[in-house]
Amino acid sequence: MSSSEDIRTTTTVDHLIVGAGFGGLCTAIKLNEAGESDFVVIEKDSDVGGTWHINTYPGAACDVPSQLYSFSFALNPDWTSAFSPQPEIQAYIRRVAEESGTLDRFVFDTAVTDATWDQDAQRWLVRTTGATYAARSLIVGSGGLSEPKLPDIDGIDSFQGEVFHSARWNHEAELAGKRIAVIGTGASAVQIVPELQKVAARVDVYQRTPNWVIPRNERSFTALEKAVFRRLPVVQRAARAAVYAGLEARVPAFTRLPALMNVVEAVAKRNIRRGITDPELRKRVTPTYRAGCKRILISNTWYPALDSDNVELVTDPIVKVTPSGIVTADGAEREIDVLVVATGFHVTDQPMASHVTGRDGRTLAETWAERGMRAYKGTTVHGFPNYFHLVGPNTALGHSSMIFIIESQVAYLTEALRTMRSQRLATVEPTIEAQDSWSDRVQARMKPTVWTTGGCASWYLDEHGNNTTLWPGQTFTLRRLLSRFDLDQYDVRPVEQREA
Ligand code: N01
């Protein structure tokens, strides 16, 4: 689909937003407020929420403090605790969506199959499993952690019991009294395993690399606190600012002074000593790389769960999966009824990138193949006019709330669209110089960070070994850089030129 002919058979909208998670919803609300109300949001699932709608595994909760886990324009005085469980976050997103008056433009149960820039029509032609759309701008908010990564283990397809990914939890599967294996020990697994331990006959936890896990400072908000937050939002804003400042204070340890991470390591080691009695097991869960190199996890229940009689930590590498169990390199076979793969997501090789084709006929994946993911200010991409990528290259965080970054990106793209309208521009596209200079500077700043020097392999790094995922600085710096749409860094095409 590449000619302007196709436009006649399509639905024309000003803006097409992919995904109804925090990113897509924020964009819908802000475009609506800006008077850019001719948009659709295409969502493959049946509701708003994105990752919070999809990840329903036992124990699913946010490891970012609740006070930061809401839009700044829709504070939530009703959070019940310092770290919110998934159902509460999902209910919050649903409520914000309903109150926003934008839900009439959300199309659910519909997946984007491909999006192609039509240079003649100067529109994005977007095919979905429902209608086809022609849109002036394309805003992709499909999330960096949405496509499950399944482990490539010999024989896994032959397994006769229940097998599913952590992000596609099978709620029909019987767990009580069962023998369950969990592959992976990341942020998802540390939340899942303590819940499984409570009901399963046995849980085998397959650890390839241990993680640093610090205590979770959990507490419930009192009725009085909630009443004060409701009546005096300024108090909640102050509480929020304090939490935000506390997390930002940790940034130098990630970016410039990784040696400071020995403080985190000491705290995590104490967490291990408190949670695990067996000295041998303590050793096996203690990482040998710098804290922060992989995401620092928080849990009070992970180590006690591993220390339980019905849980076994398996560190011998997996050789194969059989119809009834898992065989490890030491020759042992552990029989199981249920296999949970908590093995993470496609982050630096997002499938969506193969389905977005730019001005020169190349897909985003092809464009990024040589040097990795690159985008100007993590948001716009050379060769892809009127394209905005939420949670794009080097905008993710390991220490604070992504909602802060999403709001910053949405402010930037809203300003861009406003500028296009006021200056009668048909297209905006960052110059290659602007994009290269931005990406080169970001990569230079990666050199001293803990993600580069910490001595681990992580999903932050791409196949070239570059961290094209995280923002290497304070979040307020990125917000400031995104606060003004800098048209001088863009190639533009006026509307008149198209009509001539
Ligand atoms: O995934 P992961 P996750 N054989 O990629 C192991 C966010 N999140 O779903 O470390 C054996 O972190 C792999 O081992 P290794 C958060 O940003 C947020 O847990 O690669 N093992 C690792 O242990 C998080 O960082 C919340 O050696 C294999 C695990 O699987 C991100 O999502 C909650 C393997 C994968 O860990 C991803 O977390 C949950 C194989 N073939 C998640 N392949 C919040 O609370 C992989 N592994 C906000």
The span from the CA of 45 to the CA of 183, in Å, is 26
**How far, in Å, from the CA of 271 to the mean position of ligand 1?**
20
Minimum-distance ligand 1 atom for the alpha carbon of 60: 33
* The pLDDT of residue 7: 54
Taking 70 as the pLDDT cut, the residues of the chain under it are 1-8, 497-500
Minimum-distance ligand 1 atom for the alpha carbon of 152: 41
* The pLDDT of residue 497: 52
For tokens 């897909």, the residue is 363
* The pLDDT of residue 350: 83
CB atoms within 10 A of CB 347: 20
* The pLDDT of residue 180: 98
Ligand 1 within 6 A of CB of 392: no
CB atoms within 10 A of CB 160: 10
> Above 0.95 for ipTM, yes or no?
yes
- What does the chain come to in residues? 500
Residue of the CA atom closest to atom 38 of ligand 1: 187
Given a contact cutoff of 8 angstroms between Cβ atoms, the answer to whether 455 and 405 are in contact is no
Residue of the CA atom closest to atom 1 of ligand 1: 344
The span from the CA of 161 to the CA of 197, in Å, is 19
Q: For the segment 69-126, what is each residue's pLDDT rounded down to a tens digit?
A: 999 999 999 999 999 999 999 999 999 999 999 999 999 999 999 999 999 999 999 9
The span from the CA of 180 to the CA of 176, in Å, is 10
How is residue 237 written in tokens? 């804003």
Question: What's the alpha-carbon Rg for the chain, to the nearest Å?
Answer: 23
Ligand 1 within 6 A of CB of 293: no
Mutate to test the pocket of ligand 1, among 188, 213, 345 (most ligand atoms within 8 A of CB): 188
Ligand 1 within 6 A of CB of 189: yes
Supply the pTM of this predicted model: 0.96
Which one, of 155, 61, 111, lies nearest residue 352 by Cα?
111
Minimum-distance ligand 1 atom for the alpha carbon of 186: 19
Ligand 1 within 6 A of CB of 68: no
Q: Which residues pair with 172 in a beta bridge?
A: none
3-state secondary structure of 451: helix
* The pLDDT of residue 499: 46
Minimum-distance ligand 1 atom for the alpha carbon of 145: 32
Q: For the segment 351-373, what is each residue's pLDDT rounded down to a tens digit?
A: 889 999 999 999 999 999 999 99
**How far, in Å, from the CA of 343 to the mean position of ligand 1?**
5
- Give me the helix-helix angle, 22-33 and 402-422, nearest 10°: 40
